[in-house]
Structure 1
Amino acid sequence: MTARIACGSDRAILSDVLNSLADGTACIVPPATGILGVTEITEQLKPREIVLYTSGSTGPSRGILRSHESWTASFSPLADLMSLTSKDSVWVPGPLTSTLFLYGAIHTDAVGAELLLSDMPGSSATIVHTVPAIAIEILQNITDFPRLRLLVVAGDRLPPQVWDLAHGTGIEILEYYGAAELSFVASRNNPDEELSAFPGVEYAIRDSVIWVRSPYLAERYVFADGDEASGPALWRDGWASVGDLGSMESGHLNVQGRGDSAVTVGGHTVVTDDVEHIIRRSLCTSEVAVTGIEHPRFGEILVAVVVGDFDDSTLRMAADLLPGPAKPRRWIRADSLPRTESGKVDRGAIRRMAASA
Structure 2
Amino acid sequence: MTPAQRLASLLTLAPPPVVGWRRGEPVSGADWLADAARWQAAFAAHPGQRFALFFLDSLAFAAALFGAWQAGKQAWLPGDMTPASRQALRTRVDGFAGDGAAVDGLPRIEPAAQPARAECPLDPDAQQLVVFTSGSTGAPQALPKRLRQLFDEITAQEQAFGAVAPDAAVLASVSHQHVYGLLFRVLWPLATGRALQAQSVVVLEDLAELTPPGANVILIASPAHLSRLPLQPQPGVVQLFSSGAPLPDAAMPDCLRVFGRAPIEIYGSSETGGVAWRQRNPGAPAYWQALPGVEWRLQDDALWLRSPHLDEADWMPSADRAAAVDGGFELRGRADRIVKIAEKRVSLTAVEAALRASPLIADLRLLPMSEPREQLAVVAVPSEAGWQLHDEHGKRALAEALRGGLADVVERVVLPRRFRFLPELPVNAMAKATQARLLAEFDPRRPALRAVHRTEDGEDLTLIVTASLPQFEGHFPDHPILAGVVQLEWAQLFGRERFGFTGEFAGMEALKFQRVIVPGQRVTLSLAWASGKLTFRYHSELGQHASGRLLFTAS
TM-score (norm 1): 0.70
Answering whether residue 263 of structure 2 is matched by residue 168 of structure 1, we say no
Specify the code of the residue in structure 1 equivalent to 2:62. L
Query: CA offsets per residue over residues 280-300 of structure 1, 9 Å max, x none?
Result: xx98xxxx5443789xxxxx9
Q: Give the equivalent residue in structure 2 for 1:76.
A: 155
Q: Give the equivalent residue in structure 1 for 2:246.
A: 157
CA distance in 2, matches of 1:260, 1:118: 40
Answering whether residue 217 of structure 2 is matched by residue 132 of structure 1, we say no
- The 5 A counterparts of 1:328-347 are 333-334=421-422, 337-347=425-435
Specify the code of the residue in structure 2 equivalent to 1:195. W
Q: Give the equivalent residue in structure 2 for 1:243.
A: 319
Answering whether residue 64 of structure 2 is matched by residue 16 of structure 1, we say yes
Offset of residue 181 of structure 1: 0.6
Aligned pair in 2 of structure 1 residues 303, 267: CA closer, same or farther (>3 Å)?
closer
Answering whether residue 366 of structure 2 is matched by residue 291 of structure 1, we say yes
Asked if the contact 1:176/1:185 (under 8 Å) is kept, the reply is yes
Asked if the contact 1:291/1:350 (under 8 Å) is kept, the reply is no
Query: CA offsets per residue over residues 133-157 of structure 1, 9 Å max, x none?
Result: 11222x33444x3311222111111
CA distance in 2, matches of 1:267, 1:182: 23
Specify the code of the residue in structure 1 equivalent to 2:128. E
Specify the code of the residue in structure 2 equivalent to 1:38. R
Answering whether residue 173 of structure 2 is matched by residue 90 of structure 1, we say no
Asked if the contact 1:175/1:187 (under 8 Å) is kept, the reply is yes
- The 5 A counterparts of 1:108-257 are 108-119=189-200, 121-123=206-208, 124=211, 126-137=217-228, 139-143=229-233, 145-169=234-258, 170-190=260-280, 192-218=285-311, 238-257=314-333
Asked if the contact 1:244/1:258 (under 8 Å) is kept, the reply is yes
Identity over aligned pairs, percent: 20
Answering whether residue 201 of structure 2 is matched by residue 103 of structure 1, we say no
Aligned-partner SS, 2:274: strand
Query: CA offsets per residue over residues 268-289 of structure 1, 9 Å max, x none?
Result: 94776x959x99xx98xxxx54
Point out where structure 2 has 5 or more consecutive residues left out of the alignment. 1-43, 97-124, 340-344, 370-375, 392-404, 407-415, 449-555
- Report 1 or 2 for greater relative contact order, CA contacts < 8 Å, sequence distance ≥ 6: 1
Aligned-partner SS, 2:54: coil
Q: Give the equivalent residue in structure 2 for 1:304.
A: 380
CA distance in 1, matches of 2:291, 2:221: 18
CA distance in 1, matches of 2:335, 2:254: 30
Answering whether residue 152 of structure 2 is matched by residue 60 of structure 1, we say no
Specify the code of the residue in structure 1 equivalent to 2:301. S
Offset of residue 26 of structure 1: 4.1
Query: Pairwise CA RMSD of aligned residues?
Result: 4.5
Instruction: Work out which of the two has the higher radius of gyration on C-alpha atoms and give 1 or 2.
Output: 2
Aligned pair in 2 of structure 1 residues 78, 267: CA closer, same or farther (>3 Å)?
closer
Aligned-partner SS, 2:227: helix
Asked if the contact 1:307/1:336 (under 8 Å) is kept, the reply is no
Offset of residue 214 of structure 1: 0.8
Offset of residue 245 of structure 1: 2.1
Q: Give the equivalent residue in structure 2 for 1:50.
A: 129
CA distance in 1, matches of 2:297, 2:237: 35
Offset of residue 193 of structure 1: 2.1
Query: CA offsets per residue over residues 317-342 of structure 1, 9 Å max, x none?
Result: xxxxxxx99xxx99954265433354
Query: CA offsets per residue over residues 110-143 of structure 1, 9 Å max, x none?
Result: 1111212444643336222122111222x33444
Count of equivalent residues: 313
